[in-house]
Amino acid sequence: MIKRISKFLGALALAGFFFWLAFRNVNIQQLWSYAKNISFWWLLPFAITMILSNVFRAERWRLLIEHEKKDLDHVTLIAGVFNGYFFNLIGPRFGEVSRPVYVARREDISPSKLIGTIVLERVIDVVTMMILMIITAVYLISDMGVLRQIFGDKAMNLISGNIPLMYVLWAFIAVLGLGILTYSGIKMIQFLASRIERVHYWVQKFKKALYNFKDGLLAVRQVERWGFFILYTILIWTCYVLMSYIPFWMFNMQHVYGLGILPAITITVVSSIGIAIPSPAGLGTYEYFVKQTLVLLFGVPAVTGLAYATVTHAVTILMVIIFTPITFAIDKRRQARSGAEPI
């Protein structure tokens, strides 16, 4: 419990630090004035696109688990996806567990297997993001100095390979030490399990969960409808790019700064990296990285870039808060009508 609280407080501190980086040297009154004068009707297509991205993600997830159960409920899967995003607002990576647990209880599937499919999803999304990063690098980024301003010297040194030999040595020692500790720990647990029945019982339960997790992680081998799987992946990321592109029209940035699809792809990639940093729902990190990208790559004023980042992120979070209980209610009602036992 103490460990979870400390992680949560650490995530909040990280979010606060990046909020400070994003909002420093920006006139808040000017920011608020600018945000109030946007074309709000563009929020409708933005919201529809966000909802569609979650529907496509739920349907792609179905393809990874339908070999376990063919008649998976569409609404349950969509509610599970919203559930994951909602719990990510509470703490980083909370949704990675709450989403599969919710669906597992509804559909009577092993939670460990579903958690494995979530990890697999993340791997697939990282590969997709890497492809978009290559597109971004080829078409838009030619100056490593600009990347250093966005992500910082330390991160770019890792990417460019400019790593001091001492760092490599310490990393090797750390990995070696971790390997030795892990091996020793496993041997100790095996020794205790051979002599203490209670330890043996929990070791067997852990092994079963681990095997189920492995089956979920390898679920990609059992995907039958590969055409739909690739299509849903493309549709998910198309929605993400549109969620970066539509706000250009909201802020009239397509006319004033000439921003189009390629800048939207760039922002999608950078924002995905920002959200991946363990702050709750990417708070602070999203605002900072998106603002820096707009300012440094596309010459957008800081107040405009920050307004763009703040409004788009706030609307996304608000949509999750609104639609999560709605999908829960619909799912619960459908389960009750079908005679399934409610959670």
Q: Is the pLDDT of residue 119 over 70?
A: yes
Q: How many helices (H) and strands (E) does the chain have?
A: 15, 0
CA–CA separation, 106 and 191 (whole Å): 38
Which letter does DSSP use for residue 278 in this model? S
Alpha carbon 250 to its chain centroid, in Å, reads 24
> What is the pLDDT confidence band of residue 78, given thresholds at 50, 70 and 90?
very high
CB 48 within 8 A of CB 259: no
Q: Is the pLDDT of residue 202 over 70?
A: no
> pLDDT (tens digit, 9 = 90+) per residue, 91-106?
766 777 888 888 888 8
Among the listed residues 305, 275, 308, the one whose alpha carbon sits nearest the alpha carbon of residue 291? 305
The reported pLDDT for the residue numbered 215 is: 54
Q: What is the rounded average pLDDT of the residues 13-22?
A: 79
The reported pLDDT for the residue numbered 200 is: 65
Whether 343 is in a domain gets the answer no
Among the listed residues 119, 151, 121, 96, the one whose alpha carbon sits nearest the alpha carbon of residue 266? 151
Whether 4 is in a domain gets the answer no
Angle between helices 74-90 and 43-65 (to 10 degrees): 110
CA–CA separation, 84 and 103 (whole Å): 11
> pLDDT (tens digit, 9 = 90+) per residue, 36-57?
778 888 889 999 999 999 999 9
Distance from first CA to last CA of the chain, Å, rounded? 24
Number of domains in the chain: 1
> What is the pLDDT confidence band of residue 214, given thresholds at 50, 70 and 90?
low
Whether 8 is in a domain gets the answer no
Whether 327 is in a domain gets the answer yes
Conformation bin of residue 341: beta by default, left when phi > 0, alpha when psi is -120 to 50: beta
> pLDDT (tens digit, 9 = 90+) per residue, 269-320?
888 877 777 677 778 888 888 988 898 888 888 888 888 998 899 899 999 9
Q: How many CB atoms lie within 10 A of CB 293?
A: 26
Whether 6 is in a domain gets the answer no
109 phi, psi to nearest 5 deg? -125, 155
Whether 10 is in a domain gets the answer no
Q: 242 is in which domain, residue-wise?
A: 16-338
Whether 185 is in a domain gets the answer yes
Whether 11 is in a domain gets the answer no
The reported pLDDT for the residue numbered 54 is: 94
The reported pLDDT for the residue numbered 58 is: 93
> pLDDT (tens digit, 9 = 90+) per residue, 133-160?
777 766 555 455 555 555 555 545 544 5
